[in-house]
A and B are shown apart, each in its own frame.
Chain A
Amino acid sequence: MIRLENVSKEYSPDSPALINANVDIEKGEFVFLVGQSGSGKSTFIRLLNREEKPTEGKVYVAGKDIVGLSSWKVPFLRRNIGCIFQDYRLLPKRTVSENVAFALEVIGRPRHVIEQQVPAILDLVGLSEKSHRMPDELSGGEQQRVSIARAFVNRPLILLADEPTGNLDPSTAVGIMRLLDRINRTGTTVVMATHDRGIVDTMRRRVIELADGKIIRDQKGGEYR
């Protein structure tokens, strides 16, 4: 599903963000990216949805080389990749259901599809009762659920999560991880950058550890360390 071949990324010549990374991620895998701040986790994620291009090497998503993808095709790539972030990135002037519907409206989905899919996904994330609330009326965990609903409503092949539990207390974080696990079990590949030792150690999934831009560990069923 995802393949990095000799991928390096330099923002400036003296500070490489990623050095010669080689990774293969199968369809349906759940992968944790761990490492200290500045180790290259976010760059790894940004390379997968073509927010960044590598300085060297090739990135394949669903069998396609996305480095040479022309810019007008990038949106079509992103329709297959959901993204969630530590800061949720919800639109403050839209309700919960409008935030989720927005992701479908901007890719031109017909109204009847939107009317059908939005309640279904809100039900999946447990927010049916709060569909008319504004984001600032929700807790952090609920806001992250909205963000997950928005990322998953289009049923993407891959879900990229950059520190999704970073702003949440441990018990709320567990709820979010259960949701991501459930999504992963539908066949969606999940790549999650995290600092949360407890989560990694509990879930025992594949762990890719980065340090100073290099992959120093790639372990199935791994721990945080």
Chain B
Amino acid sequence: MIGKIRFLLAETGQNIWRNLALTLASIIVVGASLSLFGSSRLVADAVDNATQRWEGGIEFVVFMKADAEPSQDEAIQTLLTESEGKEIDSWEYVDKAQTFEEFTEFFADDAELLATISVDTMPPSYRIRPTDTDAGAVAALGQTFESRPGVRTVVFASEVIREIQTNADKISRSTLWAGVALILAAVIMILTTLSIAIASRRNEIEIMKLVGASNWFIRIPFMIEGLVQGVIGALIALPGLAFVRTYLIEDFSKSDNLRLLEGFRVTDSEFLVISLTVIAIGTAVATIGSIFAVSRYLDV
């Protein structure tokens, strides 16, 4: 068994060495396509995180004081209920516990910050969808809440947020499509590299068949070669993704001129999920390319 494995690995190594330039080209195409794909997912996650509270047509949020009296809270709720169907289309209440939960989830990787907060210090809030979404009407409606007792502040989804949502969506969608197109190119590249490897070893394959090598024994070195291209391609995409996360997304969110983008960041768990997805796609791309190549070009 050890002898078999050693032979198969030696054959794979020889294949790669003989076909080095094309193998490197395949790895680079896989790496580039997965970097683009992963980056589009990173940007999408970062935008989601930054604009989470503004999704679904929510135009402004009324934050209560953390120590607001229950009666003050009730007064706001009564007002909202009365206005429902008139100025206000719908609203939702986010209590202290839910706010705490969202906060801890979002800052899961910032233990220092989490140590300073508790459920009681969290401000409850009302997320409001007005009937009239015209900027002036929204501002007028929001301001009526500002002076109410127990209200700390009213935060509006500005035009800037809406534009960021739309544009970031466009950017992440177009990079996603470019990534998908390149992933297809990567499959074709792996397929071509393997077909050339198979053609260049035609004599060996013929002799292997004649002396009774099993079909899988003939196929496996080529399949491992494809897999190596996909997995290494995916692995070289990961530092690229870490770069996008650290230097583009996080630095962007720290910019003083772009206060609105606070929260434009990717959590560790989101980054892990994207990295694993990229590795899985790299492996899948390689597997598909390899299976297609050996079934099409390797007549055993």
A residues apposed to B, CB below 8 Å: 49, 71-72, 75-80, 83, 89, 91, 102-103, 105-111, 114, 150-151, 154
B210 interface neighbour in A71, A78, A91, Cβ under 8 Å:
A78
Q: Is B207 in contact with chain A by the CB < 8 A criterion?
A: yes
A-contacting residues, B1-25, CB 8 Å: 3-4, 7
Tell me, in angstroms, the Cα distance from A80 to B204 when the chains sit together.
19
**A107/B3 contact (C-beta < 8 A), A89-B203, A102-B207 known:** no
Q: Is B109 in contact with chain A by the CB < 8 A criterion?
A: no
A-contacting residues, B164-186, CB 8 Å: none
Tell me, in angstroms, the Cα distance from A77 to B206 when the chains sit together.
16
Cβ–Cβ contact A75 & B215, under 8 A: yes
Q: In the complex, what's the smallest C-beta–C-beta distance from B213 to chain A, in angstroms? A: 4
A105 interface neighbour in B3, B203, B209, Cβ under 8 Å:
B3
Tell me, in angstroms, the Cα distance from A69 to B218 when the chains sit together.
19
Tell me, in angstroms, the Cα distance from A79 to B215 when the chains sit together.
13
15 contacts between A and B (CB under 8 A): A71-B300, A78-B209, A78-B212, A89-B203, A102-B211, A103-B211, A106-B7, A106-B212, A108-B3, A108-B4, A108-B7, A109-B3, A111-B3, A151-B211, A154-B212
List of B residues within 8 angstroms of A108 by Cβ: 3-4, 7, 217
Closest residue of chain A to B210, judged by CB?
A: A83
Q: In the complex, what's the smallest C-beta–C-beta distance from A118 to chain B, in angstroms? A: 14
Cβ–Cβ contact B3 & A91, under 8 A: no
Q: Is B116 in contact with chain A by the CB < 8 A criterion?
A: no
Q: In the complex, what's the smallest C-beta–C-beta distance from A110 to chain B, in angstroms? A: 5
Tell me, in angstroms, the Cα distance from A94 to B223 when the chains sit together.
23
Closest residue of chain B to A89, judged by CB?
A: B207
Tell me, in angstroms, the Cα distance from A80 to B210 when the chains sit together.
10
Q: Is B257 in contact with chain A by the CB < 8 A criterion?
A: no
- Could you say which of B208, B211, B214 has the most chain A C-beta atoms within 10 Å of its C-beta? B211
Cβ–Cβ contact A72 & B211, under 8 A: no
**A79/B212 contact (C-beta < 8 A), A108-B3, A109-B3 known:** yes
**A154/B211 contact (C-beta < 8 A), A91-B204, A111-B3 known:** yes
List of A residues within 8 angstroms of B212 by Cβ: 75-80, 106-107, 154
Closest residue of chain A to B214, judged by CB?
A: A75
List of B residues within 8 angstroms of A71 by Cβ: 215, 300
Q: In the complex, what's the smallest C-beta–C-beta distance from A97 to chain B, in angstroms? A: 15
Tell me, in angstroms, the Cα distance from A80 to B208 when the chains sit together.
14
List of B residues within 8 angstroms of A111 by Cβ: 3
Cβ–Cβ contact A72 & B214, under 8 A: yes
**A106/B206 contact (C-beta < 8 A), A71-B215, A72-B214, A111-B3 known:** no
**A72/B215 contact (C-beta < 8 A), A89-B206, A91-B204, A91-B207 known:** yes
Given A89-B203, A102-B204, A150-B211, 9 more A-B residue pairs with CB atoms under 8 Å apart are A72-B214, A78-B209, A78-B210, A80-B212, A91-B203, A106-B217, A107-B214, A107-B217, A154-B212
Closest residue of chain A to B216, judged by CB?
A: A72
List of A residues within 8 angstroms of B214 by Cβ: 72, 75, 107
Closest residue of chain B to A92, judged by CB?
A: B203
List of A residues within 8 angstroms of B203 by Cβ: 89, 91
Closest residue of chain A to B217, judged by CB?
A: A106
Cβ–Cβ contact B211 & A106, under 8 A: yes
Q: In the complex, what's the smallest C-beta–C-beta distance from B295 to chain A, in angstroms? A: 13
Q: In the complex, what's the smallest C-beta–C-beta distance from A193 to chain B, in angstroms? A: 16
**A106/B3 contact (C-beta < 8 A), A72-B214, A75-B213 known:** no
Tell me, in angstroms, the Cα distance from A213 to B3 when the chains sit together.
45
Interface string of B213-237 (1 = CB under 8 A from A): 1110110000000000000000000
Q: In the complex, what's the smallest C-beta–C-beta distance from A155 to chain B, in angstroms? A: 12
Tell me, in angstroms, the Cα distance from A89 to B203 when the chains sit together.
8
Tell me, in angstroms, the Cα distance from A102 to B215 when the chains sit together.
16
Cβ–Cβ contact B213 & A107, under 8 A: yes
Interface string of B105-145 (1 = CB under 8 A from A): 00000000000000000000000000000000000000000
Q: In the complex, what's the smallest C-beta–C-beta distance from A58 to chain B, in angstroms? A: 22
Q: In the complex, what's the smallest C-beta–C-beta distance from A41 to chain B, in angstroms? A: 18
- Could you say which of A71, A75, A78 has the most chain B C-beta atoms within 10 Å of its C-beta? A75
Closest residue of chain B to A82, judged by CB?
A: B211
* Those 8 A-B pairs whose CB atoms lie nearest each other, nearest first: A79-B212, A106-B213, A78-B212, A103-B211, A75-B212, A108-B4, A75-B214, A106-B208
List of B residues within 8 angstroms of A106 by Cβ: 7, 208, 211-213, 217-218
Interface string of B182-214 (1 = CB under 8 A from A): 000000000000000000000110111111111
Closest residue of chain A to B201, judged by CB?
A: A91
List of B residues within 8 angstroms of A110 by Cβ: 3
Tell me, in angstroms, the Cα distance from A192 to B209 when the chains sit together.
20
